[in-house]
A = this chain, B = another copy of it.
C-alpha cells in the first residue's frame, strides 16, 4: 500500500528525487539513490504503473494479436514474444482473435485503441484496408509476423519460395505424381499462408511440366488429425496413388504419414512426404521439412517493437526505411531427413 510519498518521507528525500532514483535516472547522488532504494525495499514499494504510465506516457506493455493460440506456429511465436518482453520488463497483453467475428472487430475497434499499449505485434493477421487504417490510427509501432501489413515492420518467411523448394526437392528425386495438402476453406479465409504455399507448389509443378490432378489436392485444418483424415482419403483410393505428398505444414505431414501406415505404405519407400515448419514432431518422425523458427521470429518481433519504441523514427543506424517500417526475411533451413526418397519402381517404370 505504500506510495512514493511514504518512501520519500522515510528516506528523507523529496518525492521527485525518489522517483528519479528508483527509475534509474541521472542527476541523483549515489547517497540519495541508496537511501531511496533502501526505503523502497523496506516498505515493499512497487510503483503503480497506471500512475506511472499516465504521467510518463510509457506503458511498458505490448499487445500481441494472434488468430489462435492452439496452433503450433502461433503458440511458438507467443512464447518467443513473451520471453523477450519478460526480460525487458514489459507486460504482454494477449488478444486471441479466435473464430468469432465480433471478437475480431472489438479487438480492432476498442481494445487496441485504449492507449494502454506501447506497440502492437500482429501475427498472420489479414486485414482490410479500413482495419489497417484503424490499427495505424493508434500511432504506435506495429510489427507484423507471418504476413505483411502495409505501414508495419514485417518479419516473414517467403512461404511461396519455401513451398517451391520443398516441391522441387520431390521433383528432383524423380517424383511426378505429387499430391498437396493445403488449408481448408475456413482457414484460407483468414490466412494467406496456405494459398502462398499452394502457389509455390503449383508454380514448381508447372515449371517442371507436371500436371496437377484435382483429386490430389487435399485440404485439412493444419492439424495432425485433420490431415490424417485427408491422407486416408488421398491414399486409400483404389485409383492411382501419388508417390509423394507435400503437406503445407509439418503437423499435416505427420498426419499423412500416419494415414500411410494405415494402408501399409512405407515412408519413404512407397511414399515420400515433405512438410514445412520445423515442428518438434518432424525430428521424431524423420520428416524432411523446411524449418522455420517461430519462437525466434517472436523474439525478433518483440525486439523490433522495443527498438522502435526507443527510436520511433525507425532509423537506428542508417537502416533502409525512413518511415520506421522495415521488412525482414527470417532465415529458414531445408532439413532433409528420411521421409523422402526416390519414387518406388522407378527402374521398373522408367528403366
With both chains docked as a complex, state the minimum distance between the C-beta of A59 and any C-beta of chain B, in angstroms.
7
- The binding surface of chain A is classed by DSSP as helix
| Category for how many chain A residues contact B | 35 or more
Do residues B115 and A284 form an inter-chain contact, with CB atoms below 8 A?
Answer: no
* Interface 0/1 of A113-144, CB less than 8 Å to B: 11110000000000000000000010000000
Kindly identify which residue among B72, B98, B223, B281 contacts A225, using a CB–CB cutoff of 8 Å: B281
Do the beta carbons of A76 and B70 come within 8 Å of each other?
yes
Distance, CA A55 to CA B284, complexed state (A): 54
Q: Is the CB of A224 closer than 8 A to any CB of chain B?
A: yes
Residues of B within 8 A of A53 (CB): 50
A23 to chain B, nearest CB (A): 13
From A85-93, A163-171, A303-311, A330-338, give the one contacting chain B.
Answer: A85-93
Which residues in B have their C-beta under 8 angstroms from that of A91? 93, 111, 116
Docked-complex contact B261 and A48, CB < 8 angstroms: no
Determine whether the beta carbon of B79 is less than 8 Å from that of A114.
Answer: no
- Asked whether any CB of chain B lies closer than 8 Å to the CB of A280, the reply is yes
CB neighbours of A110 from chain B (8 A): 46, 89
Contact code string A260-276 (vs B, CB < 8 Å = 1, else 0): 01000000000000000
A288 is an interface residue with CB less than 8 A from chain B: no
Task: Determine the distance from Cα of A103 to Cα of B59 in the docked complex, in whole angstroms.
Answer: 20
Closest to A45 in B: B113
Q: Please state if B54 and A114 are interface contacts (CB–CB under 8 Å).
A: no
A112, closest chain B residue (CB): B46
Please tell me if A228 contacts chain B, counting CB pairs below 8 Å.
Answer: yes
Pair B86/A79 contact, Cβ less than 8 Å: no
Which of these, B54, B82, B96, contacts A48 with CB under 8 Å?
Answer: B54
CA distance A229 to B284 in the complex (A): 8
A115 pairs with B54, CB closer than 8 A: no
- B78, A69: Cβ atoms closer than 8 Å: yes
Known contacts A76-B70, A114-B46, A115-B46; decide if A82 and B94 are in contact (CB<8 Å).
yes
Find chain B residues with CB under 8 A from A93 CB: 61, 91-94
Answer yes or no: A283 CB below 8 A from chain B CBs. yes
A43 at the interface (CB under 8 A from B): no
A51 at the A/B interface (Cβ < 8 Å)?
yes
Docked-complex contact B79 and A103, CB < 8 angstroms:
no
A258 within 8 A of B: yes
- Assembled-state Cα–Cα distance A75/B79 (Å): 11
CA distance A147 to B132 in the complex (A): 42
Q: Bound state CA distance, A233 and B272, in angstroms?
A: 27
Cross-interface CB contact of A75 among B69, B82, B116, cutoff 8 Å: B69
For chain A, residues 296 to 326, give those with C-beta under 8 angstroms from any C-beta of chain B: none
Cβ–Cβ < 8 Å partners of A229 in chain B: 284
Residues of B within 8 A of A83 (CB): 96, 98, 100, 103
Shortest Cβ-Cβ A-B pairs, 4 listed? A225-B284, A82-B96, A50-B54, A46-B113
A-B contact pairs, 24 of them (CB 8 A): A46-B114, A48-B54, A49-B114, A49-B115, A49-B116, A50-B54, A50-B59, A50-B116, A54-B54, A61-B93, A68-B79, A70-B75, A78-B96, A79-B96, A79-B98, A82-B95, A82-B98, A86-B95, A91-B93, A91-B111, A92-B95, A92-B96, A94-B94, A229-B284
